[in-house]
Amino acid sequence: MIIQCTAHPKLSLCSGFYAFGVSAPCAQSQFFPKRKEKPCIKYSSTLLSFLQKARTVRNAKRHSAAYLLGRRLRGSIGSLVAILGTILPSFFVILFIAVFLLPFFDYPKVEAFFRGCAVAIVGQFAFAGLIFCRKLLRRWVHFAVCAVGLIVVSVLGAHPIWGLITAGVLGFWLCSGDCNADAD
């Protein structure tokens, strides 16, 4: 049983290591090897359907896909071990950094490096905002929903979750003409 369970999470672990935003191709290559190995799941369409389901939930898509694949292959234990497989690589990398590199963070040059990184993240945010604006803001109603969500978190100072919920409820009432919520 243990051997059966570890066979697939090993694959999941590999996907976790190479998951710099490319977990779907990694999963594809892990579950459908090019050599004469036996594939873990029968059809690539099954993998695709799992990835689509994981996208529906959206939070932590990689873990969601791992859960679905693990459950399909080995039931509850499979899903648990598959999730662990996707979490553990980054968990240990972060722990390593936290344990061994944290003492160096106060060095002036390291501080300057992180200051530059933090500023780059602002640019990244702005770029993400631009992409989302292009995809989502197509009618005046969308602008209105966006503005209300923004007011809830920035002017009223509410928890960001309330901003999401407010926008969701407004979308429910106002976005009747565009039910294909495909942009993400």
Partner 1 sequence: MQMLIKLFVSFILIGLGAYGGGLVTIPLIQHEIVNSKGWLVFDEMARILAIAQMTPGPIAVNAATFTGFRLSGILGALIATAAVILPSMLILVLIAPWIDRFKSNGYLNRFGRGIQIGVLSLILFAVWSYGHAAIKGWLDLLIAAAAFLFLVAFEGKLHPIVIILTCGIIGVIVF
Query: Could you tell me the two tokens for 26?
Result: 């990694």
Shortest Å distance, C-beta 53 to partner 1:
5
Query: Could you tell me the two tokens for 118?
Result: 């933090």
Q: Is 100 in the site for partner 1 (CB under 8 A)?
A: no
Shortest Å distance, C-beta 3 to partner 1:
25
Binder among 42, 103, 118, 140 for partner 1 (CB under 8 A): 118
Q: What's the CA gap between 117 and 114, in Å, rounded?
A: 5
Residue whose C-alpha is closest to residue 146's, from 137, 138, 155, 154: 137
Contacts for 113 with CB less than 8 Å, ≥ 6 apart: none
Contact 136, 167 (CB under 8 A): no
How many residues sit in the footprint of partner 1 (CB under 8 A)?
A: 90
Shortest Å distance, C-beta 146 to partner 1:
5
Which residues in 39-98 contact partner 1 (CB under 8 A)? 53-54, 56-60, 62-64, 67-68, 83, 86-87, 89-91, 93-95, 97-98
Nearer to partner 1, 8 or 63 (CB): 63
Q: Is 12 in the site for partner 1 (CB under 8 A)?
A: no
Contacts for 64 with CB less than 8 Å, ≥ 6 apart: 53, 54, 57
Q: What's the CA gap between 66 and 166, in Å, rounded?
A: 31
The radius of gyration computed from the CA coordinates of the chain, to the nearest angstrom, equals 21
Shortest Å distance, C-beta 34 to partner 1:
23
Nearer to partner 1, 45 or 176 (CB): 176
Contact 77, 4 (CB under 8 A): no
Nearer to partner 1, 4 or 114 (CB): 114
DSSP 8-class letter at 181: -
Shortest Å distance, C-beta 79 to partner 1:
9
Which residues in 141-180 contact partner 1 (CB under 8 A)? 142, 145-150, 152-154, 159-161, 163-172, 174-176, 178-180
